[in-house]
Structure 1
Amino acid sequence: MLFQRFKRIRAYRIIVLVLALAWFPENNLHARSAVYEEINGQSALRLAVKSSPSSTFEDYDMIKDADLIKAVQSPAWQASNEIPRFTDLYISREGNAAQLLRVDVGGRLWDETQSKMLVLPDKALTKLNKAADELRAKHYGQLMDWEEAEKLFSRKAYFVIKDMDTGLSFRVQRRAGHDHADVQPVTKADTEIMKQIYSKGWTWDRKAIIAEKDGRQIAASMNGMPHGGDGIPENGFSGHFCVHFLNSSTHKSENPDLPHQLMVYKAAGKLRNYFAASSPFLLGQSLVEALHHEEQEMIRLLTEGLPKEQLETLLSQQQNWRSIRRKDGRELPQEESWLSEVQLQTETLHATRGKSLCNSIPGSYAQARLVLGK
């Protein structure tokens, strides 16, 4: 008798549960189910930090925090025509690599493929920022002035260079240099790795690197052209190449080399900060260097706020340039103090038409209000 009564009670509860589930809107039911699955370990969020979307070198962590997972699974995504100001943060769902989300400077998530964004709740945003800070500390190098770096990377010292785009590493030895470090690959194997980094051949072009020594990661920049003295003749590298740090300079100038400094700040993850503190004239010069080095993420940072048509014209011309060099320039004063126009003279090497001089290029005038977001 008691057993039959228990069976009736259980049957009533099942009926009530079925009716309750049928009453819930289908989207809410699926969202709740998906959140439940995410939280219970069947999936997680993959948070990654890298210096540009095309970089294969990244550091990441698997996030299983319930607040963050629930926020990303929220149905509160909004369609938006806004042009976001992206950071170096990328989020994807585990097992679903096609759905890659980017984080903007305000901590909002963006699905670029569908032009929609999500505002995270304060609690979830705080946790995201904490996880991002930890990843950035692991991924990027420390800014160290050359006067201090010269002591850490003293002459005849060995250290490791890691490329910020590929993550490839090789050993070098500092042989000489006064205003910067003149270094050489230690062995032929190290030279072969450097060749992979400079896959198009040896060049003076700068690359953002991490210089690793004694457990420290220092933001730096290198070029890839063998030149000068050769202190390790058996390494397959005829000469040495240059490594620059914060405020180091070339042999020909007492002033820091701009393209090297740009790469140092890239290696430190602080390009946006550097541009925010730069004059409009320096921003214009930086844009030319970014175009020459084909640094697409750097170009994006420098042209945030530029009219879409103007940017597309600039990038379409870039495809036909083998190189672009800044020659001269000046800042044109404006009536309003927060707006400046910069005119730069550049020399371009066209793929078919050879060298030519331009008094200005589309987008070569940096507007402080737009670039700095003021």
Structure 2
Amino acid sequence: MSSVRSTHRHRTLLITFLLALLLTQSVGHSALANDSAPLKNEPVADSDSIVLLVASSPRAAYQTEVTIEDKSLKRALEASLSADPYTEPILPDTMLRYNTKNQTVRLGVTPTGDVIDLAARQIIKLPSKVQETLQSHVQTLRSKHYGELLTWEEASLVLPKFSSFSILDVESGLSFEGQRRAGSHHADVQPLTKVDSATLKSIYGGQWSWDRRAVLVKLNGRTLAASMHGMPHGGDGIPGNDFNGHFCIHFLGSVTHGSRSVDPAHQVMVHRAAGLLLDYVSKLSPWALIDVWISAAHQGDLQLLQVTTGQEQAMHVRSMRRLSKFTEQDVSQLLQLDTAVDVTMTAARASAVSSRRVLFHLERASVQDRWYIRSAVIQ
């Protein structure tokens, strides 16, 4: 097992080296490193209050928090010891904060109630009853923060044609109003007003974009997990809204109009909006995992790159899209896989689009474990 882990580390280093000529270093790398570093303690008044906060990523402006009073939980946290290592590729989306000895302690919490020492990346052992209570608090908070994971058929009934609803971007926290105008395989939506169009454009940094983003669709007291892009296209039905066409919102299992196929980038964003990103990616086949990697590279999404490789990534290209179809094979008994994928891409400091081939090497520790991309060589 130690030799396998050593091989994993060497392969992880290889990916950064091999992509160095085409991928640029991103300021997000230091941000990711700082997210997992211990936070500086500051003098504060002690109390029995414990604050839970959830966000889809460390930099997400949209956050939901709750304050609970639980002396038993606080005593258990103060008396606890670190136990097993925390081995997931990204830190939990839920944070726990409390004051003790005039200092603030910050810890991570998983959906199952495991408490994580962020600096040491170790699981803190708690009594089972205390952990069950904490798990209940965390699940309640996450259910308020994230959306329901509904199939397109179910979502289409909740959002009938010409219904209006709120759309909230889970990273920026910006929200605007839209209306479903059409769409039989996903929702074709238009912003209601000029202000709503301006908000949508600001979510994408001031320009229209095909990039997929995780969003929450809110209507009649329900919140649905979804994914949108921000590019006006097709028919226009709301005059005077400064939006020439419609944009698309996808739900679980929805397909595109043209290819009648599920869009991998939309589906990963739908699961992010449901708070199920890590669970979803960990169950993907090698080829589906490669699709997530390509989408992450295309959008410069460092969190998605980290989920696919198991390591912090600090690289991106200006664009990358898959060209070739996958020829999938039975990998049920394999621990390693090498495969080639044809892509179109634009290098970080270039403007021209070129056709390239990427050689992927994937590994997993056992047939029960998930796959990781350990190297990606662009030829």
- The residue identity in structure 2 corresponding to 1:142 is E
Q: Structure 2 regions of 5+ residues with no counterpart? A: 1-44, 373-379
Q: 3-state SS of the aligned residue for 1:262?
A: helix
2:98 equivalent among 82, 86, 93: 93
Q: Which residue of 2 is the match for residue 65 of structure 1?
A: 70
Q: Which residue of 1 is the match for residue 319 of structure 2?
A: 323
Cα distance change, pair 346–365 in 1 and its aligned pair in 2 (3 A): farther
1:19-168 to structure 2, matched below 5 A, reads 38=46, 42-74=47-79, 76-77=81-82, 83-85=87-89, 86-93=91-98, 99-104=105-110, 107-113=113-119, 117-168=123-174
Matched, 1:225 2:225: no
Q: 3-state SS of the aligned residue for 2:290?
A: helix
Give the distance between the partners of 2:290 and 2:147, measured in 1 at CA: 26
Which has the larger displacement, 205-214 or 283-292? 283-292
1:359 equivalent among 353, 357, 360: 357
Q: Which residue of 2 is the match for residue 345 of structure 1?
A: 342
Deviations 1:59-103 (A, max 9, x none): 11112211221122226246x876445332211225999753223
Cα distance change, pair 209–94 in 1 and its aligned pair in 2 (3 A): farther
Which has the larger displacement, 159-168 or 115-124? 115-124
Q: Which residue of 1 is the match for residue 198 of structure 2?
A: 192
Cα distance change, pair 73–342 in 1 and its aligned pair in 2 (3 A): farther
Contact 1:158 1:174 in 2 (8 A): yes
Contact 1:53 1:297 in 2 (8 A): no
Give the distance between the partners of 2:129 and 2:342, measured in 1 at CA: 49
Cα distance change, pair 337–167 in 1 and its aligned pair in 2 (3 A): same
Give the distance between the partners of 1:48 and 1:234, measured in 2 at CA: 40
1:170 equivalent among 148, 159, 176: 176
Cα distance change, pair 344–104 in 1 and its aligned pair in 2 (3 A): farther
Q: Structure 1 regions of 5+ residues with no counterpart? A: 1-36, 305-310
Q: Which residue of 1 is the match for residue 16 of structure 2?
A: none
Contact 1:339 1:369 in 2 (8 A): no
Contact 1:331 1:341 in 2 (8 A): no
Structure 1 residue 208: Cα displacement: 0.7
- The residue identity in structure 2 corresponding to 1:325 is R
User: Higher helix fraction: Structure 1 or Structure 2?
Assistant: 1
Give the distance between the partners of 2:198 and 2:233, measured in 1 at CA: 17
Q: Which residue of 1 is the match for residue 27 of structure 2?
A: none
Contact 2:86 2:123 in 1 (8 A): no
Structure 1 residue 210: Cα displacement: 1.0
Give the distance between the partners of 1:246 and 1:166, measured in 2 at CA: 22
- The residue identity in structure 1 corresponding to 2:62 is F
Higher relative contact order (CA 8 A, sep 6+): 2
- The residue identity in structure 2 corresponding to 1:203 is S
Q: 3-state SS of the aligned residue for 1:160?
A: strand
Give the distance between the partners of 2:99 and 2:266, measured in 1 at CA: 37
- The residue identity in structure 2 corresponding to 1:160 is S
Which has the larger displacement, 280-289 or 338-347? 338-347
Matched, 1:285 2:291: yes
Aligned residues: 322
Deviations 1:94-133 (A, max 9, x none): 5999753223577443333355552222122111110011
Q: Which residue of 2 is the match for residue 371 of structure 1?
A: 370
Cα distance change, pair 87–121 in 1 and its aligned pair in 2 (3 A): same
Q: 3-state SS of the aligned residue for 2:79?
A: coil
Q: 3-state SS of the aligned residue for 2:93?
A: strand
Deviations 1:139-172 (A, max 9, x none): 1111222122222212211111111112221111
Give the distance between the partners of 1:184 and 1:233, measured in 2 at CA: 10
Question: TM (normalized to structure 1)?
Answer: 0.76
Give the distance between the partners of 1:343 and 1:210, measured in 2 at CA: 35
Contact 1:246 1:261 in 2 (8 A): yes
Question: TM (normalized to structure 2)?
Answer: 0.75
Structure 1 residue 255: Cα displacement: 1.5
Give the distance between the partners of 2:294 and 2:369, measured in 1 at CA: 17
Contact 1:281 1:366 in 2 (8 A): no
Q: CA RMSD in A?
A: 2.9
Q: Which residue of 2 is the match for residue 261 of structure 1?
A: 267
Deviations 1:212-253 (A, max 9, x none): 111111111110011122211211222211111111111111
Which has the larger displacement, 128-137 or 107-116? 107-116
- The residue identity in structure 1 corresponding to 2:321 is R
